Every structure is written in C-alpha cells, then in structure tokens.
Amino acid sequence: MSPKGQTLCLLLTVACPWLPCEAIEYVEFLKRHLDYPKSTFGNDNAYCEAMMHDRGMLCWQSNTFVHASEYEVQSLCSSRGHLVAELERSSIPFPITVCSRRGKKPQGACSYEGKSLTKEIWVTCLKGLPVYFNKYG
C-alpha cells in the first residue's frame, strides 16, 4: 500500500470512530495484506523482514501480502470471487508474498522467511468488502 494509502487508513481508524465495523475491518485488512505495487527490498526474506516490521506485525507466525490493486482485491467480494463454504475464492491467481517466522518465537527480535507465489486467494467478505484473509492455494 502506498504511503498515501497508509495515511488514509490511519486517519479513518483514528478520526472516524463512528464508521461501521466493516469499514474499519476493511482498513485493517488493507494494512495487513495489501502491498501494490510490491515494495522492493532486494529479496523475499528482506521484503518480509521490512514489511512485517513496517506494518507493526512483529513476531507474528505468518502473514500473506497480496500484490494487486485495491479494486482487484475488493472485486473478490462481487464479480471476481466464487463463494465456497462462506469464503470468497478468487477466480484468478494473484501475485502474493508469504512471510513466515523462522523458528519458535524468540525472546528478542523475530526474523522472517519470504516466498513469492502466484495463487488463488480466499477471503471473508462483509457487506461487499474483504475483511479477513483466509488462505491461498
């Protein structure tokens, strides 16, 4: 997500506490999972180290970043998704980076391993907005 988009997300969550829950959950979804165009940090491991830190997801077990526009991801909840077991599955594969914590949670800083893939993604939608990333595959 661009710095401009991150600023908007921060403003929405802090300055607009009266927003419906799904709007706040959507903003959190974008913060946690959208990076378009993909930020460059050299290699996938360096990418994951930087992104997990920059997005405040320190020592999380794993996270997946989707490298598609907000419009493309949002359209999963309408025209580009297929409802399967109450989840929307993308009808086309998306470029993603999967970040996984190395080893068990240490006392100090965590390190991450990254892997770039192109896979279908599964999300939970609420009132036409993606609010939870479920899996890829």
Domain ranges of the chain: 3-136
Alpha-carbon distance values, 103 to 71, 89, 136 (Å): 35, 30, 22
pLDDT tens, the chain, 137 aa long: 444 444 444 444 454 555 556 688 999 999 999 999 999 999 999 999 999 999 999 899 999 999 999 999 999 998 777 778 788 899 899 999 999 999 876 667 789 999 999 999 999 999 899 999 999 99
Reference 130, options 51, 74, 71, 68; nearest CA is: 74
Report the CATH number of the 3-136 domain.
3.10.130.10
Phi-psi region of 25 (alpha: psi -120 to 50; beta: other; left: phi over 0): alpha
